[in-house]
Structure 1
Amino acid sequence: MHSHLIPDVDDGVNTTDQALVCLKQLADWGIKKVITTPHISRDWYPNESAQLRAEQITLQALATDNGLQLTVEIAAEYLLDEFFPALLEADDLLTFGSAKYLLFELGWAAAPHQVDDIIFRLQTRGYTPVLAHPERYSYYYDDPSPLEHLHEMGCLFQLNWASLTGRYGDRAQAQARLMLKKGWVDFVGSDLHRPNDLTALSALFSSTDYDLLRKQPLLNESLL
């Protein structure tokens, strides 16, 4: 429920060939449904909902035409930038699941302001906010209490499974383990951007953290 497999719309795959390589590997791992989530941000990736829905149809056809038993759906990974409130006001948001899960990310440079307010506004409009890869935000490494606060507010957390293999460094890996031990992980996602990511993802299955991840009450299967 987090990947970047629509060709040439963000920093994910560039071609249909790359997308197909990724889809084939996901299918080989036994995954039945892929909810791909292109970036949406005004300054970097100003994608629009209608455009991405059309791209989903093309990606589903690619999977079907190549004999893959995969359902491909579309959502998005929204950056909480200064333009996001306008999208929220227009009710023009791509979500997934019956609970209208909305995947969002934060900026990398500094802890954001007014996240509580945005989460509250999402909830009052019937969305269920899901924070992408909270284990990767360095400003929460020394003090994870803000993450605990967000989770207690009802903001769900999505873990990148490659964080458990060291793909993003030791600190992200340690934060991922902490989140698992505290029971803060609601979804696991690949955050797959390109075929080169597949090696780091496959390393999870022989990782000592794999059993810990499997014990989490993940919501992924509820999306099938």
Structure 2
Amino acid sequence: MIDTHCHILPMCDDGPGNWHQALELAKRASAQGITTIVATPHHRKGNYYNGAGQIAYLVQRMNERLREAGIPIHVVPGQEYHLTSALRDDYASQELQTIGHTRYLLIELSSRLSPRNLQASIRFLKDMNILPVIVHPERFAPFIENPSHIYKLVNEGVYMQLTAGSLVGQFGSDVQRTARLIAVRNWAHLLASDAHDLSKRGFRLREGFQLLEEWCGTETADRFKRNAMLAVNGKSLIAGVPANPHPKRRWLQFFSV
């Protein structure tokens, strides 16, 4: 099983604080049946700054330590990019780290972005041949209030990645309800752990996939697993037919400026 979103690299964000904790997190992942992890340290979120060069170095070190410890996990470089006005500068300076150097970039939305700026950022990424994947949309307050906004983004070619912890209720009933709605309406494409540590933010992928199968059927759960492999290998993701939200709502301004 492939986990496309995990904060497993040590000493770079709110994930593991040292190499020992990182290896223990990898052991827990292996126990969940995970064989490949996309390392996704925060970039541009608060004081976290993890450009592509820093990530490449830490991923290399992590894989070396995994081999030495005999842990059957392979780590692939990635990044959780907090979408800001610095996007163009980060692209120009080659600070963006896509999933395994493919076209897929995991992005986290900022409530300080206006809809116009979001649309401009998405257009820019596509013009640069980068495919945006919005992480944990079910935890984003404007989407919880009006999930139909997600439908518009999906129809514009934006991919969505749910977090397993959201499906199992780790972040509360509102988030869980939104996650289920997104999954049932075929607005999502990937499921990841977003694991940070061994206690509060661990791996819940196995439970998440069980719920996904219960809510949406085996075919959908299998599609999400296959999409993880496709994303890591830079192939086109398989999408279900997105259900039109009912009742229809206008695309309202939902970000604070």
TM-score > 0.5, shorter chain as reference: yes
CA distance in 1 between partners of 2:202 and 2:194 (Å): 13
Identity %: 26
The residue aligned with 1:106 is: 109
Q: Does 1:47 align with 2:25?
A: no
| Residue among 91, 109, 112 paired with 1:88 | 91
Task: Show the 5 A alignment for 1:189-208.
Answer: 189-197=192-200, 201=204, 204=207, 208=211
Please tell me whether the aligned partners of residues 43 and 80 of structure 2 are also in contact (alpha carbons under 8 angstroms).
Answer: yes
Q: Does 1:16 align with 2:16?
A: no
199 and 23 in structure 1: CA distance in 2 versus 1, 3 angstrom threshold: closer
CA distance in 1 between partners of 2:173 and 2:130 (Å): 33
Q: Deviations over 1:71-103 (max 9, x none)?
A: 111110001112222112334311115741000
Unmatched tracts of structure 2, length 5 or more: 234-257
| Residue among 183, 190, 201 paired with 2:186 | 183
1:125 to partner: Cα distance: 0.8
Q: Which amino acid aligns with 1:145?
A: S
RMSD of Structure 2 on Structure 1 (CA): 2.3
CA distance in 2 between partners of 1:123 and 1:169 (Å): 34
Q: Deviations over 1:98-156 (max 9, x none)?
A: 74100000125776541111111111111111001000001112211211111111110
1:22 is paired with a residue whose SS is helix
| Residue among 28, 32, 54 paired with 1:29 | 32
Please tell me whether the aligned partners of residues 111 and 139 of structure 1 are also in contact (alpha carbons under 8 angstroms).
Answer: no
The residue aligned with 1:128 is: 131
1:104 is paired with a residue whose SS is strand
Q: Which amino acid aligns with 2:50?
A: N
CA distance in 2 between partners of 1:102 and 1:54 (Å): 19
CA distance in 2 between partners of 1:47 and 1:98 (Å): 15
TM-score normalised to structure 2 length: 0.79
Q: Which amino acid aligns with 2:219?
A: K
65 and 73 in structure 1: CA distance in 2 versus 1, 3 angstrom threshold: same
Please tell me whether the aligned partners of residues 165 and 200 of structure 1 are also in contact (alpha carbons under 8 angstroms).
Answer: no
100 and 20 in structure 1: CA distance in 2 versus 1, 3 angstrom threshold: same
Unmatched tracts of structure 1, length 5 or more: none
TM-score normalised to structure 1 length: 0.90
Q: Which amino acid aligns with 2:229?
A: E
Q: Does 1:69 align with 2:72?
A: yes
Q: Which amino acid aligns with 1:90?
A: S
Aligned length, in residue pairs: 224
128-137 or 65-74, which moves further after superposition?
Answer: 65-74
157-166 or 16-25, which moves further after superposition?
Answer: 16-25
Q: Which amino acid aligns with 2:169?
A: G
127 and 109 in structure 1: CA distance in 2 versus 1, 3 angstrom threshold: closer
The residue aligned with 1:149 is: 152
88 and 110 in structure 1: CA distance in 2 versus 1, 3 angstrom threshold: closer
Please tell me whether the aligned partners of residues 106 and 112 of structure 1 are also in contact (alpha carbons under 8 angstroms).
Answer: no
Please tell me whether the aligned partners of residues 27 and 70 of structure 1 are also in contact (alpha carbons under 8 angstroms).
Answer: yes
Q: Does 1:140 align with 2:143?
A: yes
CA distance in 1 between partners of 2:163 and 2:12 (Å): 21
2:207 is paired with a residue whose SS is helix
Q: Which amino acid aligns with 1:3?
A: C
Please tell me whether the aligned partners of residues 82 and 109 of structure 2 are also in contact (alpha carbons under 8 angstroms).
Answer: yes
108 and 5 in structure 1: CA distance in 2 versus 1, 3 angstrom threshold: farther
1:200 to partner: Cα distance: 6.8
Please tell me whether the aligned partners of residues 42 and 83 of structure 1 are also in contact (alpha carbons under 8 angstroms).
Answer: no
2:67 is paired with a residue whose SS is helix
